[in-house]
Chain A
């Protein structure tokens, strides 16, 4: 893409080793690892702000309590009181995705840094989708044994339709981890490519003289501002969607219907 241009919009997604070398089946400390650790550190610092445990909370404590209450509320309204034990898991993936998404947008490019969006790789999103799906399978078969298969037969299905419906429902069930993983991966990738493209338009427009700069660079910059704001929203929404869908799938496993 963007042949001959100074900016390759796909370069930002490249995993680059910092220590060690990349290779099949080998472990290396990469920029992806670094940004995961930054997300972890940021999340830890954020959560420590909620540990003041004051009766009248300050702004920071209120933010932490608000977001934990949000996750807790989402789970208790979907699954019910039994959902309490899934709060730590949903909280973990929600906060990790949220912080990884937002950190990928940090504008440190102007000082020469390169933010890496951990969640723009389907290896990562796929791994988390598999984790959610595994929890659904394990909890479902643990609680309901073979009755878990009745999940694929909706109430009121006419008897002759049962085999057909069963396979359709089973197929839609098996597609869930893929849709879960691809949604987040594509949303992040597309947003970042868009931002990078507009960025390259601005640079190329300015380089091509002030008329092009006026016609191309200024509108591109305005659009980039808008898309950046939109991307911040998408970061939060995708984290919420991933967590909410995981909760809904776990609810299927816990309550069957």
Chain B
């Protein structure tokens, strides 16, 4: 077995070469290249977690914005409702007021018209009376040839008109 037979003649060159090669690997690769490789891996992992966190934050923000939008919309809707109701009640109140004013005016006009009507009726009646008195005096003078005083004729007309 060469491993045993050659121990004494080869141990120095084997161990020497091994130590040199291991030292080169240790300092040249394990301490120089290895940290950079791991740094790349770590940087990638960090980047991924950062990106995921950023995406989460953006998602949350979007939710927040949607929430505020919703509350604002609801508020605006409630506002609009109350404004509509107010406008409606105001409009009906206005209408009522104007209606009442118009009614009053109409009433006044009606009363005036009635008053003037009564006045003209009274005037017409008075005229009819005076015409009737004149006519009664004429009729009496023609039929009986007697002159009746205006006061007598008037009393007779009044009594006749009162009877209807």
Known: A25-B12, A28-B13, A55-B47. A65 touches B21 (CB 8 A): no
* Cβ-based interface call for A150 (8 A): no
Contact of A124 among B14, B28, B31, B33 (CB under 8 A): B14
Q: How far is the CB of A82 from chain B (nearest CB, A)?
A: 17
Docked-complex contact B25 and A95, CB < 8 angstroms: yes
Q: How far is the CB of A100 from chain B (nearest CB, A)?
A: 9
Per the bound structure, the CA–CA distance linking A64 and B40 in Å amounts to: 11
Interface size, chain A (Cβ < 8 Å)? 57
Known: A15-B6, A53-B40, A120-B3. A68 touches B34 (CB 8 A): yes
Known: A15-B6, A88-B34, A120-B3. A27 touches B26 (CB 8 A): no
* Cβ-based interface call for B143 (8 A): no
Contacts of A215 in B (CB 8 A): none
* Cβ-based interface call for A92 (8 A): yes
Known: A24-B8, A32-B13, A92-B30. A40 touches B37 (CB 8 A): no
* Cβ-based interface call for B139 (8 A): no
Docked-complex contact A96 and B37, CB < 8 angstroms: no
Known: A96-B22, A120-B3. A65 touches B13 (CB 8 A): no
Contact of A13 among B1, B12, B16, B17 (CB under 8 A): B1
Docked-complex contact A92 and B36, CB < 8 angstroms: no
Docked-complex contact A44 and B11, CB < 8 angstroms: no
Contact of A15 among B10, B31, B41 (CB under 8 A): B10
Contact of A189 among B3, B15, B37, B39 (CB under 8 A): B3
